[in-house]
Structure 1
Amino acid sequence: MENRLQIPGRRTLRMASGTALCLEISFALEFPVPVIAPVFAVFLLATQNRPLSFRAAAMLALVVMLTTGSGLLLVPLLRHYALAGVMLVGLLLFVAFLYGVRGDNNLVATFLVAGLTMISAAGTADFQLGATVVGALVKGLLLALLVSALMHGLFPETANARPPPAAKAVSASQTARIALRAALVVMPAYLLAMTDPASYMPIIMKSVSLGRQSCTTTARGAARELIGSTLLGGLLAILFWFALKLSVHLWMFFLWMLLFGLLVGRRFYGIRMTRYPPGVWLNGFITMIILLGQSVQDSIAGKDVYTAFAVRMGLFFAVTLYACLMLLVFDRARSR
C-alpha cells in the first residue's frame, strides 16, 4: 500500500514542480510566448512516466524541424492561394492526428499539430511574427525537455512502478474517423487566428488541446469532459489571478503554480478520488496555464485584463461547444 501511494505522489511532485519551473524560467527569460514551455511540460510529464531516451528526444527535435519548415513553407501558398493552402493545412492536420490515433507517439502528433497551426497562421499575417513563433516553439520545447529530464532525476519512478496501459486498438476506419473529427475541431480556431494571430494564438493552443482530448473522448462524455475542463480551467485561472495579486512577484508566481499543480495532480493521479475523470483535471490545468499566462502578458502590456479575459473565456467556451458538436455529429453518423 505504501508503494502504491508513493508512486502517484512522486508523479504529482514531478508534474507540479516541472510545470512551475518552466513557467518561472519562461517569464524570467522573457520568452516570446511564455506559456508554451509549461504547456509542453504538462504534456511530457503527465503522459510519460519514464524520462525520454536520447532517441526519443532526437525524434522530438526532428519534429520541431519539420514543423517549422512546413509551417513557413505554407506561408506563400496561404497568402496567394488561400483556399488551396487552407485545404492543405487541413490535410496535414488529419495526417498528424492519424499518426497519433494509430498508436504511434501521440506526443509527437500534438507538437506537430501545434507547430503547424501556430507558425503558418502567424507567418501569413507577418513573416517576422512567424519567425518569432518558430523561436518560441523551439525554446519552449527545449526547456520542457530539459526540465522533464531534471524532474525525472529528482523524482524517479520506483522499481515496481507499472508502465502506463497501452492504448486500445481501433479499426482503420475508426482511426480515420477520429483523426478527421480532431482536425475539424482545430480548423475553425485556426481560421480565426489567421485574421489576428497575435490576439488569437491562445485560441489555437486551446483548440489543439481540445483536438487531442477529442481523440480519447466519446460523444456521451463530451459535455462532461470538454466543457467541464474548460470551465474548470477558467475558475482556476480566476483563483490564481487573485491569489497572485496578494504579492506580485516572480517567485510567488512559481510558488502559486506549484501549489495549484499539486492540487490538480492529486486528483489527476488518483491520490484524492473525485467523480470527474483524469482528463478533466489535466486539460483544465492546461487551460488555466494558457488563460493565466495571457492575462499576465496583458497586464504587462497595460491592457484591460478583465475585459480581455472575459472575451478570451467566451471564445474558449465557443470553441469547446463546437468540439462537442463535432463529436455528436460524428457519433450520430456512425450510429446510422
Structure 2
Amino acid sequence: MQIELQRLDRRALRVAIGTALCLAISFALALPIPVVAPVFAVFLLATQNRPLSFKASLVVALVVALTTSTGLLLVPVLRYYPAAGVLLIGLALFLAFRYGLRGGNSLVATFLVAGLTMITAAGTADFQLAATVVGALVKGLLLAVTMSGLTHWLLPEPLSARPEPAVRIVPGDQASRIALRAALVVMPAWLLAMSDPGGYMPIIMKSVSLGRQSCGTTARGAARELLGTTLLGGLLAIVFWFSLRFFVHLWMLFLWMLLFGLLIGRKLYGISPTRYSPGFWLNSFVTMIILLGQSVQDNAAGKDVYKAFAVRMALFVGVALYACLMLQIFERRWTRPRTSALSRR
C-alpha cells in the first residue's frame, strides 16, 4: 500500500512539475500560443507513465510533419472551395478520433485534431498567421516532450511498478459512431474560429478537449462531465488569477501552477479520493490552463481582462452545452432502434 502511494505521489508530482515548467518557459520565451505546451504536457504526463520511446518519438515527429503539411495544403481548398474543404476537415477529424478509439495513441489523435483545426482556421484569415500557429504547435509539443522526459528522469517510475494496462479498443461500429459524434462536437467551434482565428483560438482548444472527453462519456453523465469540467475549470482559473495578483512575477506563475497541479494531481490519481472520475479532473485542469493563459495574454496586451474572461467563459459554456446536446441526440438515435427491436421480440 505504501509503495502504491509513493508511485501515485510521483505521478502527481510529474504532472505538476512538468505543467508548471511548460507554462513558465512558454511565457518566458514569449511563444505565440503559450498554453499549447502545458496543455500537451498535461495530456502526455497523465496518460503516459513512461517517457516516450525512440519509436514513439519518431511517430510524434511524423505526426507533426503530417499535420502541419496537411493543414497548410487544405487552406487553399477552404478559401476557394469552402464546402469541399469543410467536408475534408470533417472527414479528417472523424478519422483522427477513430484512430484513437481503435487502439491508437491518444496523444497523437489529440495533436492531429488540434493541429488540423487550428492551422486551417488561422490559414483562412492569413497564411502568415497559419505559419505562426504551426510554429506554436511544433515548439509547444517539443517543449512538452522535453519536460516529460526531464520529469521522468527526476522522478522515475519505481522498478516494481506494474506495466501500463493495454489500450482499450472500441469495436468498429461503436468507434465510428463515437468518432462521428466527437467530430461534430469540434466542428462548430472550428467554423466559428474561422471568422476571427486570433480571438477564438482558445475556443478551438476547448472544443478539442471536449471532443476528446466525449469519446469516454455517456449521455447520462454528459452534463456532469462536460459542463462540470468547464465550470470547475473556470472557477479554478478565477482563484488562480486573484492568487497571482498578490505578487505578479513569472516565478509566482510557476509556483502557483505547481501548487494547483499538485492539488489536482492528488485527485486525478485518487490519492485524495473523490466521486469524480480522473477524466473529470484532467479536463478541468486543461480548461483552467486555457482560460488562465489567455487572461495573462489579455493583461499583457492591455485588454479588459474581466470582460474578455466573461465572454470567453460564456463561449466555453455554450460549447459544452452543445457537446451535451450532441451526446443526447446520438444516444437516443442509437438506442431507439435497439429498443424497438427488443419490443418486437
Does the alignment pair 1:182 with 2:199? no
Offset at residue 276 of structure 1 (A): 1.2
Partner of 1:288 in structure 2? 288
Determine the C-alpha separation between the residues in 2 that align with 1:249 and 1:171. Answer: 49
CA distance in 1, matches of 2:278, 2:232: 13
- State the shift of 1:171 in Å: 2.0
State how far apart, in whole Å, the 2-side matches of 1:64 and 1:23 are: 21
170-179 or 247-256: which moved more?
Answer: 170-179
- In the alignment, structure 1 residue 122 sits paired with structure 2 residue 125: no
CA distance in 1, matches of 2:275, 2:117: 34
Specify the alignment match of 1:88 in structure 2: 88
SS in structure 2 opposite 1:189? helix
Mapped to 1, the partners of 2:162 and 2:206 lie a distance apart of 31
Asked whether 1:299 is paired with 2:299, we answer yes
Q: Specify the alignment match of 1:316 in structure 2.
A: 316
The answer on 1:207 being equivalent to 2:201 is no
8 Å Cα contact 2:229/2:281 also seen in 1: yes
Match of 2:243 in 1: 243
Distance 2:124 2:170 in 1: 37
Count, aligned residues: 336
In the alignment, the residues of structure 2 paired with residue 168 and residue 45 of structure 1 have an alpha-carbon distance, to the nearest angstrom, of 19
Q: Which residue of 2 aligns with 1:49?
A: 49
Between the aligned partners of 2:45 and 2:261, the Cα distance in structure 1 is 12
> Aligned pair 1:140/2:140, yes or no?
yes
1:94-113 matched pairs, under 5 angstroms: 94-113=94-113
Contact 2:103 2:170 in 1 (8 A): no
Q: How many angstroms does 1:48 deviate by? A: 0.1
Q: Distance in 2 between matches of 1:286 and 1:42?
A: 7
Give the counterpart letter for 1:211 in structure 2. G
Cα distance in structure 2, aligned partners of 1:233 and 1:142: 25
Q: Which amino acid is the alignment partner of residue 91 of structure 1? A: L
Counterpart residue identity of residue 160, structure 1: S
- State the one-letter code of the partner of 1:83: A
Matched, 1:66 2:66: yes
**Aligned position for 1:151:** 151
Q: Given that residues 32 and 132 in structure 2 are in contact (C-alpha distance below 8 angstroms), is that contact kept between their aligned partners in structure 1?
A: yes
Say which SS state the counterpart of residue 195 (structure 1) adopts. coil
Which residue in the other structure is 1:254 paired with? 254
- Cα displacement (A) at 1:2: 1.0
The one-letter amino acid of 2:148's match is S
Partner of 1:329: 329
Shift of 1:296: 0.3
CA distance in 1, matches of 2:321, 2:55: 39
2:232 is matched with which residue?
A: 232
C-alpha separation between the residues in 2 aligned to 1:238 and 1:325?
Answer: 27
1:174 CA displacement: 0.5
- Identity within the alignment, %: 73
- Correspondences of 1:35-46 after superposition (within 5 Å): 35-46=35-46
The structural deviation recorded for 1:222 is 0.9
Once residues 136 and 71 of structure 1 are traced to their aligned partners in structure 2, the CA distance between those partners, rounded to angstroms, is: 14
Distance 2:106 2:334 in 1: 24
1-side partners of 2:186 and 2:302: how far apart? 30
1:170 partnered with 2:161: no
Q: In the alignment, is the contact (CA less than 8 A) between 2:101 and 2:169 conserved in 1?
A: no
TM-score by length of 1: 0.99
Shift, 1:107, TM fit: 1.1
Once residues 61 and 103 of structure 1 are traced to their aligned partners in structure 2, the CA distance between those partners, rounded to angstroms, is 19
Alpha-carbon distance, 1:126 to partner: 0.4
Q: Deviations over 1:253-294 (max 9, x none)?
A: 000000000000000000000111111110000000000000
Which stretches in structure 2 are left out of the alignment for 5+ residues?
337-345
For residue 166 of structure 1, report the CA deviation from its aligned partner.
2.7
- Cα distance, 1:39 vs. partner? 0.3
Q: Which amino acid aligns with 2:331?
A: D
Deviation at 1:54, TM superposition (A): 1.1
- Hey, what's the Cα distance between the residues in 1 that align with 2:175 and 2:307? 40
State the partner residue of 1:265. 265
* Separation (CA, whole Å) in 2 of partners of 1:324 and 1:22: 31
Counterpart Cα distance in 2 of 1:72 and 1:30: 24
User: In the alignment, is the contact (CA less than 8 A) between 2:230 and 2:320 conserved in 1?
Assistant: yes
Q: Give TM-score scaled by structure 2 length.
A: 0.96
CA RMSD of aligned residues (A): 0.7
Quote the residue 2:276 is aligned against.
276
SS in 1 for 2:224: helix
In structure 1, the residue matched to 2:339 is: none
Deviation at 1:162, TM superposition (A): 2.0
In 2, Cα distance between equivalents of 1:164 and 1:118: 31
Alpha-carbon distance between aligned partners in 2 of 1:276 and 1:77, rounded to the nearest angstrom: 43
